[in-house]
Amino acid sequence: MRRLLNVKPQGGLRLLLGLIPILALLLVYLTASSARHAENPTDRILPTPAAMASAVRIMAFEADPRTGEIPLAADTTASLKRLFIGIGLAVATTLILGLTIGLLPLMRAGLGPVVAAISVIPPIAILPILFITFGLGETAKIALIFIGIVPVMVRDLASHVGAIPEEQLVKAQTLGASTWLITLRVALPQALPRLIESLRLSLCPAWVYLISAEAIAADVGLGYRIFLVRRYLAMDIILPYVVWISLLAVLMDFALASLSRATFSWAHPARGR
Amino acid sequence: MAVLSFHDVWVEYGDKIVLEKVTLDVAEGAFVSIVGPSGAGKSTFLRLTTGQEAPSRGRVRLDGAPLSPEPGPDRGVVFQRYSVFPHMNALENVAFGLECKRAPILGKLFGAARRQAREEAAAMLAHVGLGDNLDVYPRELSGGMQQRLAIAQALILRPRILLLDEPFGALDPGVRLDMHVLITDLWREHGLTILMVTHDIKEAFKLGTRVLAFDKRRRDPQAPHRYGATAVYDFPLDEKKSRAVPAELKNIVAN
């Protein structure tokens, strides 16, 4: 008899094992939903698949008579725009600060403490400050995403760059590389795969801050919508929206992972368990 | 003629003295092995030469000029590990030195200049026996091949001296013998001046034309940190002399 930790599922079995918990969750939901509807046919807390399908049809395929726009499309466009601008600014800032703090003792001495101090502030706590400073428009929401994820990413990248062995840096100097060339040719290429990895981990907080900001002050957006229809206990809209948000998040994560594997093959040793 | 000369060099950290009164010259074309017990300042001595460390007293001169206190292209270096760049393939690792020299802003060469650099790098790789592994990343190379790559990388800019910090310490005995042949051949062909720190005293006597043994000359039991180490033995070797390890040296290294 082989030890349990040596039994490795292959092919179809592996797929099946992954599907079982998902199917089980669906089954639990459907059972609970039909039980509630047997007792009260107008139940709104656990809507039936049919009710959710009709809500999706209204939200995703029919224009809102008031605005003339399809709600799901408008919400998705608005949210993704905020998310991508926030993430884009965060990545650019992280790259510059992470590389310089990690590589230059002068920058580490100067900026290390302030980045460490900012990173312990709960970002939601400064949301009022952002609303007061930037108004209720797009800027405050983008700023919240930015402030929410930048300190952690900067610290992660700086410590990764700081951990490049001294031997490599001395070697580069004996090959005539200046500080600039070491940054460009030695530190930057080794920082990029780590930056992608840390962005993947920061996607979840970025969504949290986006939805929080939209819940509090917005007139369009995925977070705005689910908090709006909450007032009517419209679980038939909230649940498909949550599934849609999860799907978008999974796609982004998958795209980043593929990008890293395709671009930085040296950083992804072929191994598996 | 002395390539490298140390005159009354001290290295102190606060009141801890690591090296004291080191005065010696390294002749052009010498292969100097440096041995000694752990903590006897071998590595500090090498770090003085790479420029990672500056003497607190005394002078280090390279070709008669004061040594700049940071690493530079006049000194090539190979460490026991981490000497090569994991994100560059073998050819890029070796061409990097040429690119730094010829493209100080972009760090990349283009067109004919790029082809030229790649040819030079490929020739150097073929020279150290890696001619068939040009586009392989260091991770996919064995330990011995990684050290061959590190040596090729260090030699591409034709440094005045080559510094080796326990370069073969992590290799299997068989691979180590191959590397001894390689480094001896390169030393002869290129007329290199080599400083090599090693733990292996047999290796030191086999490869070197001169062996320096570092140790403390005096010990104070109450304050051991107040006496530093220095080159206590200095053995010139030549082809005819016996390369057996002298008995007195076996003792200090065993300490």
Q: pLDDT by residue (tens digit) across B179-209?
A: 999 999 899 888 889 999 998 888 888 888 8
Checking if the pLDDT of A71 tops 60, the result is: yes
Checking if the pLDDT of A255 tops 80, the result is: yes
Q: Give B-chain residues touching A165 at CB under 8 angstroms.
A: 81-82
Q: How many whole angstroms separate alpha carbon A267 and alpha carbon A257?
A: 12
pLDDT score at A273: 43
DSSP annotation of B139: G
For the domain made up of B2-206+228-254, the CATH class stated in words is alpha beta
pLDDT score at B104: 87
Q: How many whole angstroms separate alpha carbon B91 and alpha carbon B134?
A: 5
A168 to B82: CB separation less than 8 angstroms, yes or no: yes
pLDDT score at B193: 92
> A264 to chain B: nearest residue by CA?
B87
pTM, full prediction: 0.87
pLDDT score at A195: 96
More confident: B89 or A268: B89
Checking if the pLDDT of B243 tops 60, the result is: yes
What ipTM describes this predicted complex? 0.89
Q: pLDDT by residue (tens digit) across B123-179?
A: 999 988 898 989 999 999 999 999 999 999 999 998 989 999 999 988 888 888 989
CB of B135 within 8 Å of a chain A CB? The answer is no
Of A173, A185, A269, the CB nearest to B107: A185
Cα–Cα–Cα angle for B122, B127, B129, rounded to 5 degrees:
95
Of A174, A181, A190, the CB nearest to B77: A174
Cβ–Cβ pairs < 8 A, chains A and B: 82
Q: Give B-chain residues touching A184 at CB under 8 angstroms.
A: 107
Q: How many whole angstroms separate alpha carbon A217 and alpha carbon A130?
A: 12
Inter-axis angle of helices A188-216 and A138-162, nearest 10 = 150
CB of A172 within 8 Å of a chain B CB? The answer is yes
Domain ranges of chain A: 73-219
Lowest-pLDDT range of A28-37, A151-160, B35-44, B202-211: B35-44
- For chain B, list the strands marked E by DSSP: 2-13, 16-27, 31-35, 57-62, 65-66, 75-78, 161-165, 193-197, 210-216, 229-236
Q: pLDDT by residue (tens digit) across A18-53?
A: 999 999 999 999 999 999 999 998 888 999 999 999
Checking if the pLDDT of B222 tops 50, the result is: yes
Q: pLDDT by residue (tens digit) across B101-112?
A: 998 888 888 989
Checking if the pLDDT of A89 tops 90, the result is: yes
Q: How many whole angstroms separate alpha carbon B179 and alpha carbon B185?
A: 10
- How many Cβ atoms sit within 10 Å of the Cβ of residue B157? 18
pLDDT score at A271: 55
CB of A182 within 8 Å of a chain B CB? The answer is no
CB of B147 within 8 Å of a chain A CB? The answer is no
Domain ranges of chain B: 2-206+228-254
Q: Nearest-CA neighbor of B139 among B98, B88, B184?
A: B88
Under CATH, what is the fold of the domain A73-219?
MetI-like fold (1.10.3720)
Q: Nearest-CA neighbor of B40 among B216, B233, B243?
A: B216
